[in-house]
Structures are given as C-alpha cells and as structure tokens.
C-alpha cells in the first residue's frame, strides 16, 4: 500500500505541475505544432504525451526519462498505434560521450511457431509476436535514465484512470478497423465518448510497483500467457522469460556534410535511406529544383531500386547474412544510378524478380526529444496494424501486436522461432560537425524511409525550414505495388500529371506519414508536430 500511495502522489503531481515556463503547441490548433525553445524540445503525436514529457524534462529528467514516460502515456491514449503489447526501435545520442546508440525491442516469433500456421494472414492472439516495448523502455531507462521507474509510469497511470477520450482520429481508426479488417475493437466507442480503462490502470500500477520483469517472468506474464492461450495464441512462458531488448551498433550513413544514424536490421529502413543517398550522391539535386518532376522522378526511381535490395536481403541479422558493405557501397549506388532512365520510369520486373516482403501495417507512433543536457532520443513504437491483431488481453486491458504478419513466405524474412521480422521503422538522428543537427521519425510502414528521406533532403539540400519540410507534399515509391503514392490534397496536379506521363502509375492517398522532428539551430531548438494526424510540439 505504501508503494501504491507513492504512485498516486506522483500521478497527482503530474497534473498540478505549473506550466508557466513551457510551450505546448497542438498540431490541430497550429497547423503543424511548431515550438521554438532555448533549452529543451520534443514532439509527439499526442498533446497529453508532450505534456508528460515536458513535466519530466522540467523536473530534472533527461531525454531517456521523457521517452519512457511518453511511451507509457501513448499506450494509454493511442491504443490504435502503440501499447505495452507492441515493439519498436530507438536511437539515442548521449551528450556526455558524444556517442550514438540504437536499441532494438522488436517483437519475436514464439517458440511454438509453425510455418503452416502463417501461410495466410492472421488476426487475434495468434498474430502476436512476443512484445518488446516494456523491455525496451526498461533498457533505455537503465542505461541512460535518471528517474525512477515508478515516477515515469505515474502520468500514464493517472490518464488511464481518467479513461480513454475518443477523439475524431481514434473514432476514424476504429471505423477503419471494422470496415477494412472486420475487427470489433472498442465496442460502443464514438467521437466524444470516454471509455473506462481501469484494467489498464491496474496493469500499469502493478508494472510500476513490481518492475519490468514482472511483465516477462512474474504474475503479469502468467496472466498474459493464460489469456493468449485461451484465445488461440502461442506465446509461452519461455518466450517471455527469454525476451531481451538488444543494444546494437547504429547504422551510420554519410551524405555531404551530414552523418545519419539509424537502426540496423531487422529494420530495413536505414538500408533504404543509405542506398538512395548513395544512388543520388553525384547528382546536383538542388539544381533540379524543389519537388520538380525531374527531381522527384530521380528520387522515386532511386527509392524503387533501394527497396528492391531491402526486399531481397533484409531480415533478422541473427538468422540471415546481410551484405551491408556491398549494399551501402558507392559502387552499388553508382550501378543502380546507371540503370535509371532520366525520362522514363522502369518497371520493377525489368530490374528484379518479384518481392518476397510482406506488406507492413502503417499504424505506428514516433516521438523525438532533445533535453537541456544535449541528449537526443528518436523513438518509433508500433503494434503493426491499427489495434494490432484486434486482441485485447482480458483483465490486463491492452491490445497485442500483430507482428507475425510482418514475416514473408520466402527467405530471408520467413517465419522461424525466436526470429524478429523485418521492419521499416527508422528513427533517425543526424549530426553535422559531430553535433546534433536533426532528429526525426514517422509512422507509415513501408513509407517510413521515403518520408524521412523527403524531410531530410528538403532541409539539407533545398534549405527549407523544418515546418515547411514537414508540411510539404509527400511522394512514395516502392518495388511492389509499383504505383507512385502521393497526397491528393497537397500534391500539385501538374506535378502528378508530369510524373504519370513519365511512366509512374499514380495512387492518390489522403496522407502519408506523421513526422515528429527537431532541428538544432544556433541558440534554439525547433520542434515540429505533423498536422496530418495532430499532435503537439513543446519545449522550454
């Protein structure tokens, strides 16, 4: 009871924290949510998460502390995108050592997996991989954090007790899950309503008191396994007990004066980013002009080729040999560049065999943080599809991921026990002169690396302000399907028509991605929250 009382006090503290010195800008209210701050800054997909992160930073916490608090809050307020039943990746710049670290807490396939069970896409408990989010957040806090586990969970516990407010975006995502996937999620929810989350609040409180290992070895683990098995899933005790978040050396890329750091495989996003930059290394993109048809054609054709290599080689590095040096060599980039026709799109079938990669869910959340000490965190966490597999763990109150859908029918990304499926999640930190220059990430499945590339190039090559780069029209090309995806309300019709005339099949979409980014300027931090889904940038 004493521990519970301390949690309650921390939760109350979260709501009475004075906010006279913090700046909080909502994307809905400010068309993108832009914050200019001298000391610290952050951008998340939820004003409530941004508020929680700011309170941690203003009370002595660092970027790692704020990241943990934000992630748990998002688990409570954005159950369609992220919960403690998911997984993800983080990139962290440690100012004290000037070193960049990456953390892999991607879900893994259960030991009881069989290839036949996943010959076709599945939903529900069977679609769930072993969750990594709790282990990842605990690893991040233990290596770099300064605050207690209890203090960092307190805001999420308080918000869970208040219940889940169904805003217009959540209501739309619920409707889409029912319409497109026949999933009955959050029954009775509609815009404006508040849904009780007492089970989740209790789960988070237990987690705060007993620690992260309770999720993997204690009573929470036992209850999770029992519920999953009752619903036809295959996650077992050994799966949870043996799960580990993995610190990996970052994938370091170069482009002009910039060093880009992102996560290595099983994420393939960094390889796509690196290959595209190598393919374009000898082109004067600035001379071609910002988002002109010629410039976009070159970028899109480079993306097509980089994705071909991703689909062919990328998988869990523990089970597959990945030829990094070859894929990210200038020789490889030059060879692909020679295959690009400057006037016409070339069909994927003329360049390679059909892809072996499965389509990824685009329902993810990203947040970016820079603290007053110079530390930077760029974190992307996902359930896979919206609401994961649609399975809420009874009595525990959170959705489980559907990461098993991210495996492919063919090697190297085929399903196997304890294997991590390939991913496009690509949190990024960019250094210039060995100092942070830009940190960003986005949701969007296979569109993640192309969205990140677009924002980076708009800032680094075309000199756009960060708000303008985030709000600029987005374009996405992959190997299959081959249609160029563009944003119908933002893309100029003349540009779309010109690309179509060059052989790019076109596919209009409402929006691509949801970027949260920070630009490091002299004397200030510019944080931007994408207006495409709403969110908030803040700082002090």
CA angle, 184 then 44 then 19, to 5°: 120
Strands 536-539 and 524-529, how do they pair?
A: unpaired
Domain ranges in the chain are 2-98+106-243+366-406
Q: Looking at residue 230, what is its pLDDT?
A: 98
Q: Taking a C-beta distance cutoff of 8 angstroms, is the pair 166, 121 a contact? A: no
Q: With b meaning 16 or more CB within 10 Å and e meaning fewer, what string describes 322-351?
A: bebeebbeeebbeebbeebeeeebeebeee
CB-based contacts of 458: which residues, under 8 Å, 6+ apart? 290, 464, 468, 469, 472
Q: Taking a C-beta distance cutoff of 8 angstroms, is the pair 58, 69 a contact? A: no
Q: Between residues 360 and 400, which one has the greater pLDDT?
A: 400
Distance CA 288, CA 286 (A): 5
368 is catalytic: no
Q: Taking a C-beta distance cutoff of 8 angstroms, is the pair 455, 440 a contact? A: yes
Q: Looking at residue 181, what is its pLDDT?
A: 78
Least confident of 92-101, 192-201, 491-500: 192-201
Q: How does the average pLDDT of the chain come out, rounded?
A: 92
Q: Cα–Cα distances in Å, from 488 out to 68, 210, 495, 502?
A: 36, 49, 12, 19
**What angle do the packed helices 149-162 and 47-58 form, to 10 degrees?**
150
Confidence of residue 3 (pLDDT cuts 50, 70, 90): very low
Question: How large is the average pLDDT for residues 479-505?
Answer: 96
Q: Is 192 exposed, middle or buried (0-12, 13-18, 19+ CB in 10 A)?
A: exposed
pTM of this prediction?
0.93
| DSSP letter, residue 244 | -
- Taking the alpha carbons of 169, 76, 238, 90 in that order, is the dihedral positive or negative? positive
The percent of residues in the chain predicted with pLDDT above 70, rounded, is 92
For residue 84, give the nearest of 214, 277, 262 by alpha carbon.
214
Tokens for 354, please give them: 């059909």
Question: How large is the average pLDDT for residues 200-228?
Answer: 98
Tokens for 18, please give them: 């004075």
Given a cut of 60, whether residue 125 has pLDDT beyond it is yes
Which of 108, 364, 368, 442 is an active site residue? 364
Distance CA 340, CA 346 (A): 7
Q: Looking at residue 4, what is its pLDDT?
A: 44
**Does the N-terminal peptide bond of residue 296 adopt cis geometry, omega within 30 degrees of 0?**
no
Q: In which element (H, E) is residue 165 found? A: strand 164-165
Q: In this predicted model, what pLDDT tens digit does every residue of 234-290 receive, in sequence order?
A: 999 999 999 999 999 999 999 999 999 999 999 999 999 999 999 999 999 999 999
Least confident of 113-122, 153-162, 220-229, 354-363: 354-363
Strands 258-262 and 428-432, how do they pair?
A: antiparallel
Confidence of residue 9 (pLDDT cuts 50, 70, 90): very low
């Amino acid at each position: 009871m004493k521990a519970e009382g301390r949690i309650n006090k921390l939760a109350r503290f979260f709501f009475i924290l004075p906010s006279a010195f913090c700046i909080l800008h909502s994307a809905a209210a400010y068309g993108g949510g832009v914050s200019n701050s001298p000391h610290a800054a952050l951008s998340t997909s939820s004003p409530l998460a941004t508020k929680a992160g700011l309170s941690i930073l203003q009370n002595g916490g660092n970027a790692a502390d704020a990241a943990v608090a934000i992630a748990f809050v998002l688990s409570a307020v954005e159950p369609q995108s992220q919960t403690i039943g998911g997984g993800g990746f983080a990139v962290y710049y440690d100012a004290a050592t000037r070193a960049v670290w990456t953390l892999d807490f991607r879900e893994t396939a259960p030991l009881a997996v069989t290839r036949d069970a996943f010959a076709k896409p599945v939903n529900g408990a069977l679609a769930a991989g072993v969750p990594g989010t709790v282990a990842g957040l605990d690893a991040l806090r233990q290596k770099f954090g300064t605050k207690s586990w209890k203090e960092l969970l307190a805001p999420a516990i308080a918000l869970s007790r208040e219940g889940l407010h169904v805003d217009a975006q959540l209501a739309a995502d619920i409707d889409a899950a029912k319409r497109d996937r026949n999933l009955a999620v959050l029954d009775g929810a509609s815009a404006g309503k508040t849904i009780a989350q007492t089970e989740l609040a209790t789960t988070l409180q237990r987690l705060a008191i007993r620690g992260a290992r309770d999720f993997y070895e204690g009573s929470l683990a036992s209850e999770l396994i029992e519920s999953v098995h009752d619903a036809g899933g295959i996650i077992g005790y050994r799966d949870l007990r043996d799960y580990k978040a993995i610190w990996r050396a970052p994938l370091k890329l170069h482009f002009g004066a910039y060093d880009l750091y992102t996560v290595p495989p099983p994420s393939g996003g960094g390889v796509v980013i690196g290959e595209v930059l190598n393919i374009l290394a000898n082109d004067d993109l600035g001379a071609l002009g910002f988002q002109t048809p010629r410039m976009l054609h070159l970028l899109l054709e480079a993306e097509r080729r980089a994705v071909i290599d991703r689909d062919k080689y990328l998988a869990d590095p523990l089970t597959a040999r990945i030829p990094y040096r070859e894929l990210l060599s200038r020789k490889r980039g030059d060879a692909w560049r020679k295959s690009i026709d400057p006037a016409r799109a070339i069909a994927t079938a003329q360049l390679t065999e059909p892809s072996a990669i499965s389509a990824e869910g685009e329902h993810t959340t990203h947040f970016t943080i820079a603290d007053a000490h110079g530390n930077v965190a760029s974190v992307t966490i996902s359930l896979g599809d919206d609401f994961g597999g649609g399975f809420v763990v009874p009595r525990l109150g959170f959705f489980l991921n559907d990461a098993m859908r991210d495996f492919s029918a063919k090697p190297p990304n085929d399903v196997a026990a304890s294997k991590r499926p390939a991913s496009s999640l690509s949190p990024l930190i960019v250094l210039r002169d060995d100092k942070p220059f830009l940190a960003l990430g986005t949701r969007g499945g296979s569109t993640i690396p192309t969205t990140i590339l677009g924002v980076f190039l708009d800032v680094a090559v075309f000199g756009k302000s960060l708000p303008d780069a985030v709000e600029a029209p987005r374009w996405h090309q992959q190997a299959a399907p081959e249609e160029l995806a563009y944003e119908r309300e933002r893309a100029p019709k003349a540009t779309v028509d010109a690309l179509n005339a060059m052989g790019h099949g076109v596919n209009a979409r409402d929006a691509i991605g949801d970027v949260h980014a920070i630009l490091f300027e002299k004397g200030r931090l510019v944080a931007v929250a994408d207006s495409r889904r709403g969110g908030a940038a803040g700082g002090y």
